[in-house]
């Protein structure tokens, strides 16, 4: 029976591509040239495309074309392919009569030498090594048969890849929902920080005035100079640019999730930039004022969300 498959090429799928997980599994089974072919495909996350093929030594000539079939559909991940080939139908049983006669002669000699009267039963005879042999179909030998068998292996592999891709897409849709939820939470936290930033200058003024009064021991303080110093302190601690860049990164993150192609590396790079902005926010918000402490707490929460995003993104193709 020739191999048949419902596999479709990547270009045949209409519509926008989806975010895909690098984790998936599929198995297919088919018949070709008197052989039963079982093929399983498993993928997990990896920085690049890494393909491992395990199959009978007699099929190694087909390995390169199978690897090419994987590269046509998968771009990142560690992919394990396992192929087993067994006789498709129960082969006829042949009894090696010459060997069986040799066993019987040896048994008769032992009985005579030892005086034993025990008889060998039929089942015991058939269990003796080499007595029963099955005739298995031979692997393809002619060029035409080899090409047909190779095409069958490719067909089953593509079918398995399509099934695995369905699983990877389903997992990718679930991951996308979680990523959007986390990005949304970070956006809310950015808005909270922006609201607190507007209250920092009065807080700096109060702290500076209290400190100067403590140092000057009641000497009058020039209000204009106090305002100037407070403004300088607020400027050094201004994180408006970091908040703007972080907001921009969040918008880019969402656009990437709406797009197609290999997203994992792009999202990971973007998250590195977001992590850098969160670190800068923390370093530029010193002090023990209530507002500054609140900003520090939210910035730490943002960093935690970014780390969770990075963990999830590691599994996106």
179 with 243, same domain? yes
**pLDDT level of residue 197 (50, 70, 90 thresholds):** confident
Domain containing residue 245: 169-313
Sheet holding 77-87, edge to edge: 24-32, 35-44, 77-87, 49-54
302 with 196, same domain? yes
**pLDDT level of residue 263 (50, 70, 90 thresholds):** confident
Close Cβ partners of 235 (under 8 Å, ≥ 6 residues apart): none
- 43: in domain: yes
15 with 157, same domain? yes
pLDDT at 15 over 70: no
Report the length, in residues, of the chain: 317
Using one digit for the tens of pLDDT, what is the confidence trace for 219-259?
A: 666 666 656 665 566 556 678 889 999 999 999 999 998 87
194 with 289, same domain? yes
- Average pLDDT of the segment spanning 179-194: 94
199 with 260, same domain? yes
pLDDT score at 292: 76
> Do the beta carbons of residue 43 and residue 24 sit within 8 Å?
yes
The backbone torsions φ and ψ at residue 316, rounded to the nearest 5 degrees and listed phi first, read -100, 135
- Looking only at the bridges linking them, the beta strands covering 93-95 and 77-87 are unpaired
pLDDT score at 281: 87
pLDDT at 77 over 90: yes
- Average pLDDT of the segment spanning 26-48: 91
24 with 153, same domain? yes
Q: Indicate the pTM of the whole model.
A: 0.65
Of 187-196, 199-208, 274-283, least confident by mean pLDDT is: 199-208
Q: How many domains does the chain have?
A: 3
> Do the beta carbons of residue 265 and residue 27 sit within 8 Å?
no
pLDDT score at 113: 82
- Average pLDDT of the segment spanning 14-43: 84
Which of left, alpha, beta for 26 (phi over 0: left; psi -120 to 50: alpha)?
A: beta
d(CA 87, CA 167): 30
d(CA 90, CA 79): 33
179 with 118, same domain? no
16 with 157, same domain? yes
130 with 250, same domain? no
Tell me the CATH number at 83: 3.30.230
**pLDDT level of residue 12 (50, 70, 90 thresholds):** very low
């Amino acid at each position: 029976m020739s191999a048949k498959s419902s596999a479709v090429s990547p270009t045949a799928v209409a519509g926008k591509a989806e975010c895909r997980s690098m984790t998936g599994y599929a198995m297919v089974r088919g018949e070709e040239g008197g052989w039963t072919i079982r093929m399983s495909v498993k993928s997990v996350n990896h920085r690049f495309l890494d393909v491992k093929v395990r199959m009978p030594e007699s099929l190694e000539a087909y390995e390169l074309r199978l690897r090419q079939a994987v590269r046509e559909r998968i771009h990142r991940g560690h992919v394990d392919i396992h192929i087993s080939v067994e006789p498709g139908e129960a082969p006829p049983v042949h009894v090696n009569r010459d060997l069986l006669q040799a066993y019987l002669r040896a048994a008769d000699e032992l009985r005579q030498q030892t005086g034993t009267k025990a008889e060998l039963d039929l089942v015991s005879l058939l269990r003796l090594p080499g007595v029963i042999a099955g005739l298995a179909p031979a692997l393809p030998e002619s060029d035409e048969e080899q090409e047909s068998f190779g095409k069958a292996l490719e067909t089953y592999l593509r079918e398995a890849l399509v099934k695995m891709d369905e699983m990877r897409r389903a997992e990718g849709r679930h991951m996308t929902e979680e990523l959007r939820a986390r990005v949304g939470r970070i956006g809310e936290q950015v808005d909270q920080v922006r609201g607190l930033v507007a209250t920092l200058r009065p807080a700096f003024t109060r702290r500076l005035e209290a400190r100067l009064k403590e140092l000057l021991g009641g000497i009058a303080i020039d209000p204009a100079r106090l305002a100037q110093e407070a403004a300088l302190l607020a400027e050094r601690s201004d994180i408006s640019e970091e908040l703007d860049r972080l907001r921009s990164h969040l918008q880019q993150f969402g656009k990437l999730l709406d797009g197609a192609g290999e997203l994992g590396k792009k999202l990971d790079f973007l998250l590195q930039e977001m992590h850098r902005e969160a670190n800068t926010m923390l370093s530029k918000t010193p002090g023990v004022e209530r507002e500054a402490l609140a900003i520090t707490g939210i910035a730490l929460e943002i960093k935690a969300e970014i780390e969770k995003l990075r963990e999830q993104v590691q599994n996106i193709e």
